[in-house]
Structure 1
């Protein structure tokens, strides 16, 4: 990538993008570094979780007791369910640390403290083991990449306002480990499982940091940030591999080899062997039946795959194979059957797809598409038994990616025009028409599908962010309207005032208050000034008979009052014609008020003991621009039309254009209600399905929880808002069964877990 940045000396930085940012914003030169780091860390985390099952399955297979084995299986389940939240939580923490680089608290960035022998006795054993493991990982990276990390820290210090060291560097191993620990805090696993996960983090994430540091230094140097500071180049330009050198003396971090992963299939076979008679009734076979080879089985499956690709979803593979074998037996004169190992593979894949067809998380229209992948998946399993034990297997990942992308699909969507449906259909069609015996097609389709969903996700995330911003702005405006309502009602409800004043305050001055609330806040001088003007206006039109001090105040108040009202309305850009009408009527009101003063003063007489000498009316009023001496002189002694008075009985409600303020549901639930707990367990990114009228179902994702209003905002898979609920309203919907959460854990892993659970139950029964 070319850059026009000029080379600068060691102590200078490019003036346009490298000096310390005054406003606390991330310097321009750091933005591509942050984006590159987040992308690489995301890929590394995906590799970690793709391989976590393999490592935990190996440990479960080596377990010395059923209890220990179950602990590992439970850990696998917990990790699958929380995978997405851990990934997103870790990346959000890393991004947040970058965002805070120029803020005052940068010196307090999360740092792992070294273990002190003085306080070892205060730590429990698990915490001690965890700290020791993390300190060892940090020390290893610091020793291996100290030069590149040091140079990166120097360059960052040239860009930001506060100083960093290697331990507080946002890409340093200490900060990354702390972020990973925080993201994993919800995992309910034993310390030995945690240590396995830490080792996987070291293997798939920390081992790639040297390459990341080199690239970051290279990017900053090219942008003109201390280009004379020479850092080590990246190790190689070849694509990054997630297979670093293995750690010695740690069996669970060894490279997963063929024999180790085969143990997963062996474990499944053992479970199958104990239930074959009940779960899978044995077919009657001649004693001299000859098992066909796996190659012959592949040819038969390919025949089924191509004979009716569109009907593959309804194809009973076992029955069709039996028909083909019967024909083959008739031709050869000897009974031909499927071998026991391949029979087990067929049964396992059949059980997996039974789960998929029953899965409520997949929409029915896409189930039909996905189920057509059964024969290609069966062929992969026949070719490669690691299909069952390797989480990173391309065929498994393709199925998981399709299911994950399908989570937000609605059955009422137009399948022919929807790009996702069309893409999945293309993938399935290619598998059915092109896959013979080379599993490499799954890798090609996986890469293509991930690229497609990546583009779709970027578009939906942009729209989702705009939706969040708009809703947060709307929530802020709603709170401001409620505050303005409260101030208006506190002053007007129960009073009888001229109708023009009530209309002016409700229709015009409320907008001035709202604008000041949004722009300056309730603690501002502008907000309090607008409230004071409203109080003065109300006071100026109320009767003050027998109050000579009040009459004097009125004469002094009106000019500035009218000036403040005029300036406030002009600042709110209100319609000049409407405001002119208001001022004309206010003028009439105040003329009447002054005429009343004149009459009262005349009646009281100058000899009254409590009389107050009035100033010249012209001097007091003409400054406001609304009244002058001539208007008072010409005004009739008794007004022909007294002002229309109105008693404010009902509370004023201010609504935005098109807004309908919904009341809370009549049903209120107790704080310990299970439905409220379900709502509180929702997090941004959770998918739910809402039963609408009739058979219509709405699938949507929680995009934001607005703290100001307590509203839950849901969007569809394109990022567009489709639902808004309060906490109590959502809990009521959960209570009556109209809302249910969708499981976004990996489809294949959920299916495999279900198969294992079913086989164990059958074995016990």
Structure 2
């Protein structure tokens, strides 16, 4: 993976001239935006091209002529969108970078107007749910797949912002922000619901699948610029109870093997234990007695059938 930064001819310092940050931070923001434009330009163009192809395939499989006519109308609309989609997407991404030092605000869908009827509110809610389901699944999958790169980039962006670490939801290059941008563009172009859902799926295949390249190159660029160089992400792996038993098992069983003692259950009779504490105390007490008072060895038992002497 090339770690070279975009050339000065590709960067646009004027875009971030208004950002309240040191000159070095503004220069790095311009480099990051140029890197995003260089990495995402082709996937963004292919997104609209592939969406047109998918709509044509849907039109051929349409159940009736009315649905087919609606799909063709959406396809003609995409001809106007094609030249605007990539520039507007990168413009919105640059705006997200320019707000790096602004207070972080969660972006939530705007509430529906109170003048709408109940049936309209239900339709709007169902439409939002359909779109949210597709986008949430895309975000979840990419957040898991690129967790390490997102973690590192969140730390480095925090240095640029002079603030705490960026959560993945707030990261300008993260899947949450990118999916929010594509949703806003779909609404701006007034695409139909089915066309918007198809746009999300194509966007997932063409751009989100290549997002790891952008994250890696951004981390390399910032690392070479002295922003937390050498930073690595090592997740903490807690040892399970099974692992602890395997490690400590031989240590606990060592004394039992050396002394030959076996831990008996609490229900066992203490008198049956060999070398018990009571037996040891009795032996010590006998050792303190004079020899004449010590009991002698037991005499052999006399058989029941032996004759008297």
User: Residue in 1 aligned with 2:30?
Assistant: 31
Correspondences of 1:565-576 after superposition (within 5 Å) = none
Cα deviation, 1:655-677, whole Å, max 9, x if unaligned, reads xxxxxxxxxxxxxxxxxxxxxxx
**1:231 deviation in Å?**
6.4
Q: Distance in 2 between matches of 1:219 and 1:37?
A: 12
Q: Distance in 1 between matches of 2:56 and 2:191?
A: 15
Q: Provide closer, same or farther for how the CA distance between residues 80 and 156 of structure 1 changes in structure 2, counting only shifts above 3 A.
A: same
**Is residue 47–residue 206 contact of structure 2 (8 Å, CA) maintained in 1?**
yes
Q: TM (normalized to structure 1)?
A: 0.26
Q: Provide closer, same or farther for how the CA distance between residues 112 and 172 of structure 1 changes in structure 2, counting only shifts above 3 A.
A: farther
Q: Distance in 2 between matches of 1:209 and 1:189?
A: 25
User: Residue in 2 aligned with 1:181?
Assistant: 183
- Aligned-pair Cα RMSD in Å: 2.7
**1:52 deviation in Å?**
1.8
Cα deviation, 1:139-165, whole Å, max 9, x if unaligned, reads 111111111111111111122134321
Q: Distance in 2 between matches of 1:111 and 1:208?
A: 26
User: Residue in 2 aligned with 1:79?
Assistant: 78
Cα deviation, 1:441-499, whole Å, max 9, x if unaligned, reads xxxxxxxxxxxxxxxxxxxxxxxxxxxxxxxxxxxxxxxxxxxxxxxxxxxxxxxxxxx
User: Residue in 1 aligned with 2:260?
Assistant: none
Correspondences of 1:666-681 after superposition (within 5 Å) = none
**Is residue 47–residue 204 contact of structure 1 (8 Å, CA) maintained in 2?**
yes
**1:54 deviation in Å?**
1.3
Q: Distance in 2 between matches of 1:206 and 1:191?
A: 21
Q: Distance in 1 between matches of 2:48 and 2:219?
A: 28
**Is residue 142–residue 175 contact of structure 2 (8 Å, CA) maintained in 1?**
yes
User: Residue in 1 aligned with 2:143?
Assistant: 142
**1:184 deviation in Å?**
2.2
Secondary structure of the corresponding residue to residue 95 of structure 1 = helix
Q: Provide closer, same or farther for how the CA distance between residues 2 and 136 of structure 1 changes in structure 2, counting only shifts above 3 A.
A: closer
User: Residue in 2 aligned with 1:156?
Assistant: 157
User: Residue in 2 aligned with 1:212?
Assistant: 214
Q: Distance in 1 between matches of 2:176 and 2:140?
A: 9
Q: Distance in 1 between matches of 2:50 and 2:21?
A: 42
Secondary structure of the corresponding residue to residue 195 of structure 2 = helix
User: Residue in 2 aligned with 1:675?
Assistant: none
Q: Provide closer, same or farther for how the CA distance between residues 79 and 22 of structure 1 changes in structure 2, counting only shifts above 3 A.
A: closer
Cα deviation, 1:216-253, whole Å, max 9, x if unaligned, reads 11111122211221369xxxxxxxxxxxxxxxxxxxxx
Q: Are 2:92 and 1:93 equivalent residues in the alignment?
A: yes
Q: Distance in 2 between matches of 1:172 and 1:109?
A: 14
Q: Which runs of 5+ in 2 are unaligned?
A: 5-18, 111-120, 235-309
**Is residue 56–residue 76 contact of structure 1 (8 Å, CA) maintained in 2?**
yes
Select 1:193's aligned residue among 192, 195, 209. Answer: 195
Aligned residues: 207
Q: Provide closer, same or farther for how the CA distance between residues 223 and 231 of structure 1 changes in structure 2, counting only shifts above 3 A.
A: farther
Q: TM (normalized to structure 2)?
A: 0.61
Q: Provide closer, same or farther for how the CA distance between residues 61 and 205 of structure 1 changes in structure 2, counting only shifts above 3 A.
A: same
Q: Distance in 2 between matches of 1:47 and 1:162?
A: 36
User: Residue in 2 aligned with 1:485?
Assistant: none
Higher-RCO chain (CA-CA 8 Å, sequence separation at least 6): 2
**1:188 deviation in Å?**
3.1
**Is residue 44–residue 85 contact of structure 2 (8 Å, CA) maintained in 1?**
no
User: Residue in 1 aligned with 2:65?
Assistant: 66
Q: Distance in 2 between matches of 1:2 and 1:198?
A: 30
Cα deviation, 1:267-305, whole Å, max 9, x if unaligned, reads xxxxxxxxxxxxxxxxxxxxxxxxxxxxxxxxxxxxxxx
Q: Distance in 2 between matches of 1:186 and 1:39?
A: 24
Q: Provide closer, same or farther for how the CA distance between residues 152 and 90 of structure 1 changes in structure 2, counting only shifts above 3 A.
A: same
User: Residue in 2 aligned with 1:168?
Assistant: 170
**Is residue 27–residue 159 contact of structure 1 (8 Å, CA) maintained in 2?**
no
